[in-house]
Protein backbone atom coordinates (compact mmCIF):
# COMPACT_ATOMS: atom_id res chain seq x y z
CA UNK A 1 0.00 0.00 0.00
CA UNK A 2 2.81 2.40 0.90
CA UNK A 3 4.55 1.75 -2.44
CA UNK A 4 1.37 2.69 -4.34
CA UNK A 5 1.22 6.02 -2.49
CA UNK A 6 4.87 6.73 -3.32
CA UNK A 7 4.28 5.96 -7.01
CA UNK A 8 1.24 8.26 -7.07
CA UNK A 9 3.15 11.07 -5.39
CA UNK A 10 6.05 10.70 -7.82
CA UNK A 11 3.61 10.86 -10.73
CA UNK A 12 2.13 14.07 -9.39
CA UNK A 13 5.57 15.57 -8.84
CA UNK A 14 5.91 16.02 -12.59
CA UNK A 15 2.76 18.14 -12.72
CA UNK A 16 2.89 21.84 -11.99
CA UNK A 17 0.45 23.03 -9.38
CA UNK A 18 0.39 26.74 -8.70
CA UNK A 19 3.23 27.59 -11.07
CA UNK A 20 3.54 30.60 -13.33
CA UNK A 21 6.20 32.63 -15.07
CA UNK A 22 6.30 36.35 -15.76
CA UNK A 23 8.05 37.20 -19.02
CA UNK A 24 9.15 40.78 -19.64
CA UNK A 25 10.61 41.47 -23.07
CA UNK A 26 12.17 44.74 -24.21
CA UNK A 27 13.63 45.65 -27.58
CA UNK A 28 13.42 48.24 -30.34
CA UNK A 29 10.22 50.11 -29.44
CA UNK A 30 8.81 46.93 -27.88
CA UNK A 31 7.98 46.49 -24.22
CA UNK A 32 5.84 43.42 -23.52
CA UNK A 33 4.90 41.79 -20.22
CA UNK A 34 2.88 38.59 -20.00
CA UNK A 35 2.41 35.88 -17.42
CA UNK A 36 1.83 32.23 -18.26
CA UNK A 37 0.06 30.22 -15.58
CA UNK A 38 0.44 26.48 -15.95
CA UNK A 39 -2.62 24.26 -16.06
CA UNK A 40 -1.42 20.93 -17.43
CA UNK A 41 2.11 21.28 -18.82
CA UNK A 42 4.71 19.00 -17.18
CA UNK A 43 6.84 21.14 -14.85
CA UNK A 44 10.18 20.50 -16.57
CA UNK A 45 8.70 21.35 -19.99
CA UNK A 46 6.97 24.45 -18.61
CA UNK A 47 10.12 25.82 -16.98
CA UNK A 48 12.58 24.74 -19.65
CA UNK A 49 10.60 25.48 -22.79
CA UNK A 50 7.43 27.47 -22.36
CA UNK A 51 9.03 29.95 -19.97
CA UNK A 52 12.32 30.26 -21.85
CA UNK A 53 11.58 32.35 -24.94
CA UNK A 54 14.34 33.00 -27.45
CA UNK A 55 13.60 36.46 -28.82
CA UNK A 56 16.43 37.72 -30.99
CA UNK A 57 17.46 41.32 -30.37
CA UNK A 58 15.39 41.64 -27.22
CA UNK A 59 16.25 41.69 -23.54
CA UNK A 60 14.12 39.04 -21.84
CA UNK A 61 13.62 38.64 -18.09
CA UNK A 62 11.79 35.61 -16.69
CA UNK A 63 10.72 35.17 -13.10
CA UNK A 64 8.81 32.27 -11.60
CA UNK A 65 5.91 32.92 -9.25
CA UNK A 66 3.18 30.84 -7.65
CA UNK A 67 0.44 32.64 -9.58
CA UNK A 68 0.20 35.52 -12.04
CA UNK A 69 0.11 38.98 -10.44
CA UNK A 70 -2.89 41.27 -10.58
CA UNK A 71 -3.03 44.21 -12.96
CA UNK A 72 -3.52 42.35 -16.26
CA UNK A 73 -5.92 43.96 -18.75
CA UNK A 74 -6.86 40.57 -20.22
CA UNK A 75 -6.50 36.84 -19.83
CA UNK A 76 -6.68 33.97 -22.28
CA UNK A 77 -8.00 31.20 -20.07
CA UNK A 78 -7.49 27.53 -20.96
CA UNK A 79 -5.28 28.40 -23.92
CA UNK A 80 -4.25 25.28 -25.77
CA UNK A 81 -0.64 24.97 -26.78
CA UNK A 82 -0.56 24.24 -30.53
CA UNK A 83 -0.10 20.60 -31.40
CA UNK A 84 -0.19 19.41 -27.78
CA UNK A 85 -2.83 18.46 -25.20
CA UNK A 86 -1.44 21.09 -22.79
CA UNK A 87 -3.24 24.14 -21.44
CA UNK A 88 -2.22 27.36 -19.73
CA UNK A 89 -3.73 30.71 -18.79
CA UNK A 90 -1.99 33.72 -20.33
CA UNK A 91 -2.26 37.14 -18.65
CA UNK A 92 -1.48 40.32 -20.61
CA UNK A 93 -0.14 43.54 -19.09
CA UNK A 94 0.62 46.87 -20.69
CA UNK A 95 -1.25 48.38 -23.64
CA UNK A 96 -4.95 47.61 -23.23
CA UNK A 97 -5.76 48.42 -26.88
CA UNK A 98 -3.72 45.34 -27.86
CA UNK A 99 -6.77 43.34 -26.79
CA UNK A 100 -8.24 43.85 -30.26
CA UNK A 101 -5.48 41.56 -31.59
CA UNK A 102 -5.07 39.31 -28.58
CA UNK A 103 -8.75 38.37 -28.14
CA UNK A 104 -9.16 36.84 -31.64
CA UNK A 105 -5.80 35.08 -31.34
CA UNK A 106 -6.85 33.66 -27.98
CA UNK A 107 -10.20 32.41 -29.20
CA UNK A 108 -9.24 31.22 -32.70
CA UNK A 109 -5.64 30.01 -32.46
CA UNK A 110 -5.43 28.97 -28.80
CA UNK A 111 -9.06 27.86 -28.46
CA UNK A 112 -9.14 29.75 -25.18
CA UNK A 113 -11.68 32.00 -23.50
CA UNK A 114 -10.87 35.73 -23.48
CA UNK A 115 -11.58 37.52 -20.23
CA UNK A 116 -11.20 41.30 -20.02
CA UNK A 117 -10.02 42.42 -16.60
pLDDT tens across 51-68, in order? 988 888 889 999 999 999
Burial class (CB in 10 A: 0-12, 13-18, 19+), 51: buried
- pTM to 2 decimals? 0.80
pLDDT at site 18: 65
Torsion sign, CA atoms 59, 62, 68, 70: negative
Amino acid sequence: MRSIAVVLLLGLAGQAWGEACVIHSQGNQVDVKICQQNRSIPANLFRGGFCAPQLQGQKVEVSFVEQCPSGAFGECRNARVGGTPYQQDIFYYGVETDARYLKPACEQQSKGVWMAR
